[in-house]
């Protein structure tokens, strides 16, 4: 055990404490990235499509809504008070932007009101509209619906009953925090970890160590442990800043710990797998860059998966860190995937561990 402690201490000093680059990239940069992204996108709404649930039926409204691209309206004809209550919860959670409740025979009532509008028999058609005014998308969706009624000849024919709910404002800071965690994990366990191993291999330090009784796998794992400590330090700094910017760090913490540890294991073993196949530094570098770029842009780190193209969304399903970031987001209900967040990363972990064990000799012997 002592040898691992000495090795850990030496590697920690070599790779982290005495390296200004490492301190910057692993601990300071994630915080800077977080500040940059929140300052650029912090006031932006996440989507440009308004998700509206309409309880009731209206051929007239369907005809109008079909021509408004930004409206993603779904009509629910059979509903009860429970349906309304459930949808209100969804509205508060930002899963939908507005709820419109129409009376039975809306189209007939509306036509009647038009005919009788100048008589004492005239009655407004009562509709109920639920929105969350604090949230920009909900407020706009609500205005669009009012605008639709406004365009239907005589606006006063429809009497609104507007229900303002107190759902949370869409918060990019809370959304982006898990994305930055994912990015930091990749910075540490894909870029830094792999770069260290490339550096050790190129400088032939590993060759010297391989002549000692310590197992090379344990050297790699000790290097990974050093990176884990660097990652924890980086995430602590990020979390403190995020906390003061209103991110619900405490709610995120349990899922962050679990998903981060799994992701670190996955990337460590994937790096070792690549090392068993590629003996030159350029091969490792190519893998590092390709994986990093694909995972970063297709994995829903900075934007919700639903705004990505269908092909990219499908691709994201096969990437392990998509589940890490989305899994952490699920603690706040901001997840895009409703599948199990552990299966895919654990499959990656299992397969890569098996490959490393099977090809472990490739990590020690020159050919």
Partner 1 sequence: MSNNGETGSATVLEVNNLKKYYPSVKAVDDISFEVNAGEIVSILGPNGAGKTTTIEIIEGLRTKDEGEISYFGRFKEVNNEVKNRVGVCFQENSFFEDLTVSETIRLYKSLYEKSLDTKELIEIFELEEKVKTRIRHLSGGQKQRLAVALAFVNDPDLVFLDEPTVGLDPHARRNLWEIILKFKSQGKGIVLTTHYMDEAQQLSDKVYIMDHGNIITAGSPQELINSSGLESVIEFPEESSALFEDVIIAGEYAYLHTRDTVSAIRKLLESNVTNFVVRQPTLEDVFLKLTGKKID
**Residues forming the site for partner 1 (CB under 8 A):** 2-3, 6-7, 10-11, 13-14, 18-19, 203-205, 207-214, 365-367
Please, what is the minimum distance in Å from the beta carbon of residue 23 to partner 1?
Answer: 13
Please, what is the minimum distance in Å from the beta carbon of residue 22 to partner 1?
Answer: 11
Please, what is the minimum distance in Å from the beta carbon of residue 13 to partner 1?
Answer: 6
β partners of residue 171: none
Please, what is the minimum distance in Å from the beta carbon of residue 231 to partner 1?
Answer: 20
Please, what is the minimum distance in Å from the beta carbon of residue 366 to partner 1?
Answer: 5
Distance of CA 110 to CAs 61, 127, 155, 200, Å?
11, 11, 11, 77
User: Between residues 76 and 209, which has the closer beta carbon with respect to partner 1?
Assistant: 209
DSSP string, 120-180: TT--PEEEEEEE-TTSHHHHHHHHHHHHHHHHSS-GGGEEEEEEE--PPPP-HHHHHHHHH
User: Between residues 6 and 44, which has the closer beta carbon with respect to partner 1?
Assistant: 6
CB 220 within 8 A of CB 193: no
Q: Which structure tokens are listed for 52?
A: 């509206």
Rounded to whole angstroms, how far apart are CA atoms 184 and 350? 23
User: Between residues 19 and 164, which has the closer beta carbon with respect to partner 1?
Assistant: 19
Please, what is the minimum distance in Å from the beta carbon of residue 89 to partner 1?
Answer: 56
Q: CA angle 18-23-25, nearest 5°?
A: 135
Please, what is the minimum distance in Å from the beta carbon of residue 196 to partner 1?
Answer: 11
User: Between residues 18 and 251, which has the closer beta carbon with respect to partner 1?
Assistant: 18
- Burial per residue of 69-101, b for 16 or more beta-carbon CB atoms within 10 angstroms, e otherwise: eebbbebeeeeeeeebeebbeebbebebbbbbb
Please, what is the minimum distance in Å from the beta carbon of residue 233 to partner 1?
Answer: 18
User: Between residues 111 and 364, which has the closer beta carbon with respect to partner 1?
Assistant: 364
User: Between residues 13 and 314, which has the closer beta carbon with respect to partner 1?
Assistant: 13
β partners of residue 73: 52
User: Between residues 108 and 202, which has the closer beta carbon with respect to partner 1?
Assistant: 202
User: Between residues 62 and 204, which has the closer beta carbon with respect to partner 1?
Assistant: 204
- Burial per residue of 299-314, b for 16 or more beta-carbon CB atoms within 10 angstroms, e otherwise: bbbbbebeebeeeebe
Distance of CA 90 to the CA centre of its chain: 18
User: Between residues 223 and 239, which has the closer beta carbon with respect to partner 1?
Assistant: 223
Pairing type for strands 125-131 and 158-164 reads parallel
Rounded to whole angstroms, how far apart are CA atoms 295 and 302? 11
Rounded to whole angstroms, how far apart are CA atoms 62 and 142? 16
Please, what is the minimum distance in Å from the beta carbon of residue 203 to partner 1?
Answer: 4
């Amino acid at each position: 055990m002592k040898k691992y402690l000495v090795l850990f201490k030496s590697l920690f000093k070599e790779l982290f404490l005495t390296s200004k680059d490492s301190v910057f990239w692993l601990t300071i940069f994630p915080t800077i990235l977080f500040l940059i992204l929140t300052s650029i996108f912090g006031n932006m709404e996440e989507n440009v499509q308004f998700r509206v649930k309409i309880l009731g039926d209206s051929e007239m409204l369907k005809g109008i809504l079909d021509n408004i691209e930004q409206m993603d309206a779904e009509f629910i004809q059979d509903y009860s008070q429970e349906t309304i209550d459930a949808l209100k919860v969804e509205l508060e959670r930002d899963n939908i932007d507005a709820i419109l409740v129409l009376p039975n025979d809306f189209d007939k009532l509306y036509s009647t009101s038009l005919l009788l509008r100048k008589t004492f028999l005239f009655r407004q058609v009562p509709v109920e509209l639920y929105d969350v005014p604090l949230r920009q998308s909900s407020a706009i969706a609500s205005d669009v619906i009012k605008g639709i009624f406004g365009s239907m000849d005589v606006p006063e024919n429809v009497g609104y009953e507007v229900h303002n709910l107190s759902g949370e404002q869409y918060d990019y800071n809370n959304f982006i925090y898990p994305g930055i965690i994912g990015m930091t994990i990749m910075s540490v366990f894909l870029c830094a970890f792999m770069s260290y191993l490339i550096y050790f291999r190129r400088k032939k330090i590993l060759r010297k160590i391989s002549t000692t009784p310590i197992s090379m796998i344990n050297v790699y794992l000790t290097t990974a442990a050093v990176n884990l400590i660097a990652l924890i330090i980086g995430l602590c700094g990020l979390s403190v800043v995020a906390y003061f910017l209103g991110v619900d760090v405490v709610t995120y913490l349990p899922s962050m710990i679990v998903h981060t540890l799994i992701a670190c294991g996955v990337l460590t073993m994937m790096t070792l797998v690549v090392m068993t196949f590629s003996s030159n530094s350029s091969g490792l570098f190519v893998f590092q860059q390709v994986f990093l770029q694909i995972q970063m842009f297709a994995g829903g780190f900075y934007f919700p998966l639903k705004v990505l193209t269908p092909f990219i969304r499908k691709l994201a399903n096969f990437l392990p860190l998509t589940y890490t970031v989305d899994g952490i987001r699920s603690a706040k209900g901001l997840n895009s995937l409703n599948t199990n967040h552990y299966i895919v990363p654990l499959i990656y972990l299992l397969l890569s561990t098996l490959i490393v064990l099977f090809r472990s000799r490739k990590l020690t012997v020159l050919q």
